[in-house]
Chains A and B, each alone.
Chain A
Amino acid sequence: MRLILAISVLALIGLAVWASGAMDVAGRWAAGQQREFQNAMAAAVQAVRTGTPGAWATLLGACAAYGFVHAVGPGHGKYLIGGAGLASRAGTGRMVALALASSLAQAGTAILLVYGGFLLFEMSASWAVGTAEKVLAPLSYAAILAIGGVLVWRALCTLAAAGQRADHAHHHGDAHHHHEIACGCGHAHAPTPAQAAAVRGWRDAAALIAGIAIRPCTGAIFVLVIAWRMDLHLAGVASVVTMGLGTGAFVSLVAVSAVAARGATILAAGAPRQAALALPLLQLLAGSTIALVSASMIWWSLAA
């Protein structure tokens, strides 16, 4: 009962934040801030070109701030990293590393797309932005949808296995094993804590990072195009990496909150047997939220 209560409270808090319009308020605040930092970036890039003292510091400062407030808006893997933090057993340090890695990888994609495009073939700026918005964005949502699906799948497997294990307790005299769990996710017979974790090993981490990094941030593309045209190639790379660190800082906050929320839920679940169910249930919740959000994002981005 306490477990159901704990998870319900968590879901209700999420729903309340959603319904209260708090996200709208945050989004609007972020948009206003973003505008300020965008203008600061524009001025700073021009100052770097003319060699104004201190221009580099201003540029990088504006980029870091832009990355941070821009990440308050949708995208940038907040849902995914937050969901993974909620659903996995990964600790705070690991989740922060994932958040930073995914943001930096996203910066890398932007650099690859813009500089690669300019270097290798006669790319137009509109091609870079168009590719990011029309091809890479839906691709990223699809990848994230798949990850959400995997989370749900694993959660269901763990729950099914837990149910069967409870069943086993009454039939341990049987000579043969009951391996015929329908979902066939392997080792369903005895799920270990490690198995229940959503972020399992480097493959999972890579999938998370890649899902987020596929889609470069438009702001990063703008800076890179401007820097390339102005022959400030190094400034462009430094700007975008700094922007990625700013984004990573915000996503890290989400990751840390998610880890804390998970800990609180498991603690609130009370009895060990219930606590064991907390993780797969959180996983189910996070997975289906991620899947729902990314599905609606795909719909939106393809509703052209």
Chain B
Amino acid sequence: MVKRLFGRCFGGPAVAAGILVAISPATLTAHPHIFVDGGADFLFDGEGRLAGIRVIWIYDAFASLFTLEALEISPDEAGRLTPEGVAKVVADQTTWEDGFEGDSYLWIGGEEIELGGPLAADASLDGQRLSVVFERRLAEPVPVDGLQALVKLYDPTYYFAYFTTHAPVLENAPAGCAADVEEFQPDSMLAELQTTLMALSREETPEQENVGALFADRIYLRCD
């Protein structure tokens, strides 16, 4: 959608982003134009393994209106999307430009896990706000014994600002798993920025840290 509609610049190499953070205050580049509420659900397969996540995006009223008008979609009299409207929104939202990583990231045990492209997408309009839902699969389902997983929704460039307002649902979860949301704390931001800066002076490649990630909420899954 807006991803495609809004024409955006993507993260680039982590080092470049890191150095940029180092030479300019975070807000210099952090310039949210689009506000997205939402969150993520955790999806488990028949064997009780973590198989994927469901991402939920609920656009602010302004971005929703822009998207509808730009895609030339007229809601029905009840203010809902017609089937044709749903198809248009889904097509726009799930066509990801090269380099776009879906603004949704998963870590398991501290290691970033690649997620597949958007599947089973749906869209709806509730009053003024457009919602988009889609699933992303892990290449290989992961057993949940002692599992610690983390999902963050963010745009590396902070053009989109994401807020976790949705309580994560565990679908087909085996016993012993629980999820919780840790909201971004403004106070911790400077500390993280500092960590980023210090990481740069080390000889190692800094892990993926960029402006958007600094402001991201954390959605945790923990299994016994």
Contact = CB atoms under 8 A, between A and B. Distances in A.
B161 A226 contact: no
A187 interface: no
A225 B70 contact: yes
Contact of A42 (B6, B13, B70, B128): B128
A275 B24 CA distance: 31
Given A21-B190, A126-B4, A129-B7, A226 B69 contact: yes
Nearest to B12: A303
A303 B9 CA distance: 7
B37 to A, nearest CB: 10
Which range contains the number of B residues in contact with the other chain? 35 or more
A35 B25 contact: no
A219 B62 CA distance: 9
A146 to B, nearest CB: 19
Interface stretch (B27-35, B118-126, B143-151, B165-173): B27-35
B66 A125 contact: yes
A116 interface: no
Contact of B69 (A132, A133, A134, A230): A230
Interface in B19-53: 20, 23-33, 35
B23 A296 contact: yes
A152 B108 CA distance: 50
A290 interface: no
A219 B6 CA distance: 11
A133 B66 contact: no
Nearest to B13: A303
B190 A24 contact: yes
B110 interface: no
A252 to B, nearest CB: 21
Interface string A14-26: 0000100101111
Contacts of A218: 6, 33
B209 interface: no
B13 to A, nearest CB: 8
Which range contains the number of A residues in contact with the other chain? 35 or more
Contacts of A56: none
Given A43-B61, A218-B33, A229 B27 contact: no
Contacts of B142: none
A160 interface: no
Interface string B108-119: 000000000000
**Interface SS of A by simple majority:** helix
B29 A24 contact: no
Given A303-B17, A304-B12, A38 B62 contact: yes
B16 interface: yes
A297 B28 contact: yes
A304 B100 CA distance: 10
A35 B35 contact: yes
A27 B66 CA distance: 24
Contacts of B63: 38, 222
Interface string A48-75: 0000000000000000000000000111
Interface in B154-176: 157, 161
A124 interface: yes
A26 to B, nearest CB: 7
Contacts of B33: 218-219
Contacts of B203: none
A23 B9 contact: no
Contact of A24 (B23, B25, B61): B25
Interface of A: 18, 21, 23-28, 31, 34-35, 38-39, 41-43, 45-46, 73-75, 124-126, 129-134, 218-219, 222, 225-226, 229-230, 292-293, 296-297, 299-304
19 contacts: A24-B25, A24-B26, A24-B27, A24-B190, A28-B186, A34-B32, A35-B35, A35-B60, A38-B60, A38-B63, A74-B27, A133-B9, A218-B6, A218-B33, A225-B66, A226-B69, A230-B69, A292-B23, A304-B10
Given A31-B32, A132-B7, 16 more contacts: A23-B27, A23-B28, A27-B30, A34-B32, A35-B35, A38-B61, A73-B31, A74-B28, A125-B70, A218-B33, A226-B65, A230-B69, A296-B23, A299-B16, A300-B157, A302-B9
Interface pairs A-B: 4 shortest CB-CB: A130-B7, A125-B70, A27-B27, A303-B12
